[in-house]
Amino acid sequence: MRSILLKYNNYLIFFILLIFLIALKIVNPSFIKSISYLSFDLYQKVFPLEKRETDVIIIDIDEKSLGKFGQFPWSRSVFAKIIENVHASNPKAIGFDVFFSEKDKQSPEEIIKAYNLIPTDISDLQNIKGHDEIFREQLEKSKSVIAVLGSSVPSHSTHDRSPKARFLSKGGDPKNFTYAYPYSIGSLEKLEKSAKGLGSISFLDQTDGIIRSLPLVVRLQNKLYPTMGLEMVRIGSNQKNLYLEMNEIGIDRISSRPYKINSDPNGIIWIRYKNSLKSQYISASSVFDGKFDEARFKDKYVLIGASAQGLFDLVKNPLGVTIPGVEVHANVIENILDQSYLIRNPNTYIFELLFSILVAFITFFLSQKMKPKYSLSVFFGSIVTVVIIGFSVFLLRSELVDISYPIFMLTLTFLTGLYFRFIEENKIALSNLQKEAKLLKERELAAGVQKSLFPDISKFENFIYAKNVPARDVSGDYFDVVRATPEEYFFTLADVSGKGVKAGMYMAKASSIFRTLTNLKFPIEKVVFGVNNELVEAKFKGMFVTAVFGKLNIKTGELIFINAGHESILTFDQDKNYEYIKSEMPPIGIVKYFTESMIKSSSINIKDKTFIVYTDGVTEGYLKDGKELGAEGVQKIINNISEITPKTIVESIEKELNWGAEKLRDDITCMAINIKNTELIKKIK
């Protein structure tokens, strides 16, 4: 039993973690909700609702209006005039996102109280019609909706208010499922009685303050009230009733003929926000003055609310934008009219959980069986699948699918799997270290074999000399010289990316291809073309070669060369005037060449010059003082040589760098060409 637990302890820990994540989602605390909200907001940010025209107009209590009428709240006569002007244009309904909970301070009775007037002073004043009465009359004449708000504390000016809408339910009692508040806040009793509707402006509390959803129906003091947007649609459609269809888990559908809205079991809809339209707003001062086109309000739903910053009626929406609170209700009305609201289906929640469990299990299992680079593909593929499903359902069905928490689960379980795989790989690595010791002798043998691959160019050393000093057992650098004719010589000096046996094998392949092609006496461009394409086909992933290839005519001094991503070539004349020739091509072995025209060659005459090529192990090699040699250091070495020959140059550089350090920083490889003396050296048998 113990051996089984030890063998499968990673799966046991995974199942414990998975159960914990499932329980966390079921409990759904606020910080888990905030994770889900990330994806809900992302849908709307990526695909915001685009509308150019709207059936909802907002009369804006803006800075311009405050400048005209003074501080808020204004006299009720101002609102009465606004209603009168709008009502004349025959709108569908007029809604107030404003409370009128106290009497107008400019009404006659309030003036009498404020100034302690005596009866002889107020005989004429008492005959003046109050502003509240003027406003009430306009409310009674128009299709007006007044706001109410759910509250957990009683209001000092409350009265026994009742909703204007009549609710008819089928299949159960909706009061058992709606959000409830023990008290309500609203306007003066006579104003509410004169209005055609009472609409709730209650929002659901959310920790980040973003308004994503709201209840279409709420219970205030055990009475059902529609939200402001739904009440305005009811008034605008000349309906008395709202219909609630119930099922076994709660509210299924809310109707105000001819509009039907599918909600969640608690009567909540998720708002689909559009990008704000400036054309939707009109200043309250312009409406008061009658400076508007009458057609603008005809058959429209008109909301009156505030955007002025000093009135603090600003909220955030999922688009990441701060908007006036009244615009939230405008979006709700638009969502109901064109059925663009969003749905959070309870069955989707179950699907999300089951799908997350399945994908998390598959991802974890594969992370234990596959190599990390392949399991990463599975992980990212799973995430892409979740994202595609979420966005597809959003676009095709207007449903919200939580992709954030499934991705969170996937990431956590995958990292757990990766951790166990890391531990397992470490065990394997320890085992490999033991095997590495056994391979050491074989590497030493490989080094000996590699040395035999370097050409014997001793007979050319009067005019071409090269040397390689490996930093490790096997070098990633190489050089070669091939005599094509008595006057023509092919040469190359190259540096393979990486070190060790793999680099040595790559070098050996490149060297054999070079020698084969040069023996066929191909032009240097064709040689490079063949070497590159053969290395690409060799499929040594992540490896490439920086190299200088050349063809030298010792009779004419003409040297054709190709620098493929290598260090700059150094040349100097008899007066030691130094010149560096930079590479004009990328390294070979990366991409396949399709034509020889992709290869750029250059030519130089070296009758009176010395031509030097080296790898970065020379310029980046350490001197005894710990500093790098650098290109200036190479020049300094040459300046100190009394007799300039290819051999003295190369051996002087090698001596300066190979001064006895335990390990060289990199392979040292250098080649020098000078045709001042082209006599071949005969070997002594």
Q: Point out the least confidently predicted range of 8-22, 87-101, 516-530, 545-559.
A: 8-22
The pLDDT mean for the chain works out to: 87
583 three-class SS: coil
The segment with the largest mean pLDDT, out of 92-96, 402-406, 624-628, is: 92-96
Tell which wins on pLDDT, 282 or 667: 282
Contact 656, 627 (CB under 8 A): no
Percent of the chain with pLDDT over 70: 91
> pLDDT digits over 162-204, tens only?
999 999 999 899 999 999 999 899 999 999 999 999 999 988 7
> pLDDT digits over 275-284, tens only?
999 999 999 9
How many other C-beta atoms are found inside a 10 Å radius of the C-beta of residue 250?
18
Contact 94, 86 (CB under 8 A): yes
Whole-angstrom distance, CA of residue 196 vs CA of residue 163: 10
> pLDDT digits over 296-323, tens only?
999 999 999 998 887 778 899 999 899 9
Confidence of residue 121 (pLDDT cuts 50, 70, 90): low
Whole-angstrom distance, CA of residue 343 vs CA of residue 269: 6
Provide the pLDDT for residue 115. 52
Contact 269, 214 (CB under 8 A): yes
> pLDDT digits over 244-267, tens only?
999 988 999 999 989 999 988 999
Provide the pLDDT for residue 446. 56
**Residue at 188: amino acid letter:** L
How many other C-beta atoms are found inside a 10 Å radius of the C-beta of residue 376?
14
Question: 557: which residues sit within 8 A by CB, 6+ positions away?
Answer: 605, 606, 607, 675
Confidence of residue 108 (pLDDT cuts 50, 70, 90): low
Provide the pLDDT for residue 424. 73
Q: Taking Cα atoms as reference points, which of 143, 58, 52, 148 lies closest to residue 100? A: 148
The domain defined by 454-673 carries CATH number 3.60.40.10: yes
How many other C-beta atoms are found inside a 10 Å radius of the C-beta of residue 370?
14
**Residue at 346: amino acid letter:** P
- Whether pTM exceeds 0.95: no
- pLDDT of 671 > 90? The answer is yes
Confidence of residue 510 (pLDDT cuts 50, 70, 90): confident
Contact 668, 657 (CB under 8 A): yes
- pLDDT of 681 > 60? The answer is yes
Contact 254, 267 (CB under 8 A): yes
